[in-house]
Copies of this chain bind each other. A is one copy, B any other.
Amino acid sequence: MGVGIGVPGLVDPDRGRVAVAPNLPALNERELGPDLGRVLGRPVRVENDVNAIAVGEWRKGAGRGARALLVVTLGTGVGGGLILAGTLYRGPDGTAGEVGHMPLRPGGPRCRCGARGCLEVYASATAVVAAARAAGVPTEGGAAAVAVAARAGDPRARKVFARAGAAVGVAAAGLVNLLNLDRMVIGGGLAGAWDLMEPHARRELGRRAFSRPLERFRWAPSLLGDDAGVVGAAILAKENMGA
């Protein structure tokens, strides 16, 4: 039996190599798959963590049955993984899926990536907490605390989720039009607050997406939560997926 592992960074799954892991620099340029494989005495499959999450949700979670799926993680940053035409879509360098850095407003606020107006500056948990703080909503406890305030009826907190949801809706509309996406699974720290964001996302989507693909499209919060990556990594270890 093999072992699957999800790494927050750019990996080459065929070689089991981590090219770069910004938050785990000890793994940079490490042959993690072969190295771990020798220690464990088993084959080890290395994959990007959000790609593993996407495979997990697709096969066992909220993405089941989807044919063109984006799994987006709304956490500290915004990450993504794409399942297209029946397989994990990685792209020529393995960098595909970076939905968090699609420009949403070209002149918008600066993103930590250096660009402006990326989806991430509107729809990450970090962005929600920052906007809530700026509006005077208590943010001890992070985005979950902001959700509690919104559910209690605090209009400032509700507005923060409205803005984040609308941003997700605009991005989703572009991807429904371009990729004929039929499912979007919302993961990460904001997944539990998706009900607060969804009406606003739906409104933007309805204004912008073409009717035919829109008819088929739906989104759903993650079913597997923190287990999605583990489930996906195990599936990837069993199968040789990806293009």
Contacts and interface: CB of A to CB of B under 8 A. Distances in A.
Interface-centre pick from A91, A98, A99, A105 (highest chain B CB count, 10 A): A91
A90 to B, nearest CB: 7
A185 interface: no
A180 interface: yes
This protein's copies in its complex: 2
A142 to B, nearest CB: 26
A102 interface: yes
Interface string A121-150: 000000000000000000000000000000
Interface in A73-116: 80, 82, 84-87, 89-99, 101-106, 113-116
A243 B95 contact: no
Interface residues of A, number: 50
Given A105-B105, A178-B80, A210-B113, A87 B85 contact: yes
Interface of A: 10, 19, 67-68, 80, 82, 84-87, 89-99, 101-106, 113-116, 118, 170, 173-175, 177-182, 204, 207-208, 210, 212-213, 216, 243
Question: What are the 3 tightest A-B residue pairs by CB atom distance, in nearest-first order?
Answer: A91-B180, A85-B243, A102-B174
